[in-house]
Amino acid sequence: MYNIIVVSGIVSYAIFIFLPDIGWPIYIANCVLVGGLGAMQNLGFLIAELRVPPQSLGSVNMIAQTVGVGFGALVPFISQLDGTIPMVISAVYAIVVYVFMYGLPTPGTYLPKADEMSVK
């Protein structure tokens, strides 16, 4: 599911970057991108919960939100750049985050095992 959301976002970025004067499909690309970004944020929390040790989960979420808010504060300045540079910056950021996700441990590594949870 995450891969589908990322691919739809990349397609939207490509439309914004290479076909900015396409007409009405740009509105569909905008809706897909905004929906995808919201879904990526929610899935980011789920990925962190499944792949980060429980004692570090709060710190990881705090750092992720701090980076997100920091980039959000830069948005007005980035949006004033010429041409499609703002969309290129945003697409590169999304791709870097997606690639770094594969550096995390496998999902469920830190979840309690059924044997540990069962009553003996």
- Model confidence over 70-82: pLDDT tens digits? 888 888 888 888 8
Report which of residues 113 and 46 the model is more confident about.
46
Q: What pLDDT does residue 41 have?
A: 79
User: Is the distance from CB of 90 to CB of 13 less than 8 angstroms?
Assistant: yes
Query: How far is residue 118's CA from residue 104's CA, in Å, rounded to a whole number?
Result: 28
SS3 68: helix
Note the pTM of the prediction, 2 decimals.
0.57
Q: Where are the domains of the chain?
A: 2-105
User: Is the distance from CB of 29 to CB of 17 less than 8 angstroms?
Assistant: no
Q: Which of the four pLDDT bands, split at 50, 70 and 90, describes residue 99? A: confident
User: Is the distance from CB of 15 to CB of 91 less than 8 angstroms?
Assistant: no
